[in-house]
Amino acid sequence: MIALEPFGRTGHRSSRTIFGAASLSQVTQSAADRTLDVLLQYGVNHIDTAAGYGDSELRIAPWLKREPGSFFLATKTGERKADAAREQLHRSLERLGVDHVDLWQLHSLADPIEWDTALSPGGAIEAAVEARDQGLVKFIGVTGHGIQIAAGHRRSLARFDFDSVLLPYNVVTMREPYYAENFEALARTCAERQVALQTIKSIALRPWLGREHTRTTWYEPLEEQSDIDLAVWWVLGRPGVFLNTVGDIELLPRVLDAASRFDKRPTEEAMSALVERSRLEPLFP
């Protein structure tokens, strides 16, 4: 079983590996239901989906009926203006078959113009606060990708008191000084304010760059269990972070298996050997 830890200030103890439901975007319901059995086997109790993840919300709906109260449920909106965000939230609730979600996140908030739109009057944040007041969402978060996003999340937390953030975290990304400096500063703020810190791209190997896509992830992932072990253990070796799982249901059991066996963080020597052996490359040059 995978360990539980407080998810920020929400009062929920979430599994340290959160199910990244982008992996359900193009699968059948029967495949999704087999995935649910895997999650239950490992004690995963937190689902992270999004309005933009294809059929993911539809695939999750039967799970919520089959296992009521078993999951902390998070979804996301990619809309930047309040009216469109409200409409998308109601669509998500309908697709999920629920009357509220635990966490609603402003999705991929990185572009400076979109950022200002979303976090200004009339923006998506206005719809989020309204939805929280109405009981449609309990908590509000923000997510993003790219080399600038740690700095971007710091700005977001200065503008609004988000309950969670989500961003990339792996050994190669953290070897970029600018990213590492801002990630560490962001992590300190999150710890001080009890903001949940979610991480993604733990087993990213490199961009596909024209190679044949053999997985449903938008990046080429690590494949060997021993390599996945090291990558997952490196993330979980940092106290206070959550690892959102890979966007491929066939690789999911390997990530969860690694997480269930976590003991301590690998040495820097072991991680350097992984980088060299696997030729890990940054996703965000």
Please report whether residue 193 resides in a domain: yes
The candidate with the shortest Cα–Cα distance to 38, out of 282, 264, 245, 270, is 245
* Cα gap 154→184, rounded to integer Å: 10
Read off the pLDDT of residues 2-17 as tens digits, 9 standing for 90 and up.
Answer: 999 999 999 999 999 9
Looking at the domain assignment, is residue 228 inside a domain? yes
- Other residues' Cβ atoms within 10 Å of the Cβ of residue 193: 13
Supply angle C-alpha 274, 278, 280, rounded to 5.
Answer: 85
Is position 63 within any domain?
yes
**C-alpha closest to that of 159 among 84, 198, 106, 196:** 106
Q: Containing domain of residue 96, as a range?
A: 4-278
In a domain, 284, yes or no: no
User: Structure tokens of 175?
Assistant: 């070897």
Output the tens digit of pLDDT for each of the chain's 285 residues.
Answer: 999 999 999 999 999 999 999 999 999 999 999 999 999 999 999 999 999 999 999 999 999 999 999 999 999 999 999 999 999 999 999 999 999 999 999 999 999 999 999 999 999 999 999 999 999 999 999 999 999 999 999 999 999 999 999 999 999 999 999 999 999 999 999 999 999 999 999 999 988 776 667 787 878 899 999 999 999 999 999 999 999 999 999 999 999 999 999 999 999 999 999 999 999 888 887
Q: How many domains does the chain have?
A: 1
Instruction: Output DSSP code: residue 246.
Output: P
Tell me the per-residue pLDDT of 124-144, one tens digit each, with 9 for 90 and over: 999 999 999 999 999 999 999
DSSP letter, residue 53: S
